[in-house]
Structure 1
């Protein structure tokens, strides 16, 4: 891990964010490639993977984003204020995206599609749902590398690398969760794979954008870290956890969430 971190120090924060989010996108594509060798999937497995992803996102929101944001403001009269404002702003931003962008969550009928009314196909709506999910993940990675580049508070490069690794781990089941169900609904394997990996394309865009924004001013950093955390928690509460509990495997999904939380905690605290 130390060798990997030292090797990244020669790159600018924006390039680091790009490389990290290309890695997380790559793991989304790797998960989507399961459509070529999986003939079917267990709903229990999918629910467990969703719970696991939710646990990673919750842990990352605190250790990789909120804790450094609060530390950056520790010398002010209200050290909690920037993180709180950013956190709520991130949640409101994702709420607006959720309300406007047409999308459909896995396992839902077309009558349950959200966002503005549209005639888009079910496959497109499913991909857009995962795309919304991936916006805060890419943003979190980009902001983390931007904060590490500024050298403020508890934010460091090892922590940003650990965050990218955690996000990448939970992207693998996300790619699988898109491509395999699409194939089960009658879509060809290659097309199912294409849509599955396509859901991760937004992460490099969001990651580079996040790194660029926080590079403008160090004063933005705690707000940006809180923003990314709020956006991720919104996705977990609004989408990931409810989907994992929907099919009657609530206990399994809950335990998987705890495991995901511990995995991300170990990555961030142990490696970062």
Structure 2
């Protein structure tokens, strides 16, 4: 599990060479990180108000609910070494459906509505959300490209992956998955709108249950002990409350930050669903079951948004 950062061939030099080889990808990541940093800086003062502090508490509670969902899902891996591949693919399809619906109904559409109210223009309101989506996608593309990580089917990827222990590679992969979910919860509560934050955090917490189990079983499948696999899966769930704090900071500042933040979280989640979750469910010949699971998850999230929104 040790990360090799020897002076002879440090990881950062590999990363620098990788960035030089992919200048557009590196530029997009740097631009998205710079914009996010500016949004966070301008929100620091505003978050000192009592109202904003309450929004932070809401976001933290939502993130903790997602952490609990991940933990509950991971615990059965103490006893289970595997589950049928059909069941796993349908469960992940269910999670993908909930994430897709959450992106649409709890992030992008409310973002367009908020942007329209602020700018008094549907075109400008939609443009703000699209701008946020572009930032979110650039962020996730850059992190995926420049962070060493490993997936069960595709193997190690990212610069310097050969210098990382395999457990670390899986941890980084899960981190890339969980971060945008936590950010989405935080952005949903950034203006104290429970009608957006509550169904969103409920949906993500529910879909984290099968994801937590899948993560723990994947670690068991590659040879890690049951306890270690569960602890790693549970530990990665901590990224969701941390992501929630990041999300509420992003969208809790000036007025235009809110629709942009909703678009950013929505774009990041759509990237994860398209780039990670759906391909994983379609690699084993169970596309139909995975699609059915996706439809059920989408319908459940749509129902939750209607009942809780």
Q: For 1:106 and 1:196, how far apart are their aligned partners in 2?
A: 15
Instruction: Choose the corresponding residue for 1:207, options 228, 241, 244.
Output: 244
Work out which of the two has the higher radius of gyration on C-alpha atoms and give 1 or 2. 2
Q: 1:130 aligns with which of 147, 171, 174?
A: 174
> For 1:113, what is the secondary structure of its paired residue?
strand
Seen in structure 2, the aligned counterparts of structure 1 residues 101 and 10 have a Cα distance that, compared at 3 Å, is closer
For the pair 1:90 / 2:132, whether they are aligned, the reply is: no
CA contact (8 A) 1:85 1:223 kept: yes
TM-score by length of 2: 0.79
Q: Which residue, 67, 71, 77 being the options, matches 1:29?
A: 71
Work out the CA distance in 2 between the residues paired with 1:172 and 1:121. Answer: 26
Check whether the contact 1:34–1:180 (CA below 8 A) recurs between aligned residues.
Answer: no
TM-score (norm 1): 0.89
1:11 CA displacement:
7.1
Q: Distance in 1 between matches of 2:133 and 2:87?
A: 31
Deviation at 1:160, TM superposition (A): 0.9
Equivalent residue number for residue 15 of structure 1: 57
Q: For the residues of structure 2 that align with 1:265 and 1:253, how far apart are their CA atoms?
A: 18
C-alpha distance in structure 2 between counterparts of 1:185 and 1:88, whole Å: 35
The match for 1:265 is 302
Give the match for residue 226 of structure 2. 189
Residue 175 of structure 1, CA deviation:
1.1
Pair 213,181 (structure 1): closer, same or farther in 2 beyond 3 Å:
closer
Question: Distance between the aligned counterparts of 1:32 and 1:121, measured in 2?
Answer: 21
Aligned-partner Cα distance in 2 for 1:228–1:39: 34
Q: In structure 1, the residue corresponding to 2:150 is in which secondary structure?
A: coil
CA deviations on 1:195-222 (whole Å, 9 max, x unpaired) are 1112212111110111122222122100
Return the alpha-carbon distance in structure 1 between the equivalents of residues 271 and 89 of structure 2: 19
Is residue 2:297 matched to residue 1:253?
Answer: no
Find the counterpart in structure 1 of residue 150 from structure 2. Answer: 104
Q: Provide the C-alpha distance between the structure 1 equivalents of 2:114 and 2:146, rounded to a whole number of angstroms.
A: 34
Q: Which 5+ residue runs of structure 2 have no aligned equivalent?
A: 1-50
For residues 217 and 196 of structure 1, do their structure 2 counterparts lie closer, same or farther at Cα, with a shift above 3 Å needed?
Answer: same
Q: CA RMSD in A?
A: 1.7
Q: 1:93–1:10: structure 2 CA closer, same or farther, 3 Å change rule? A: closer
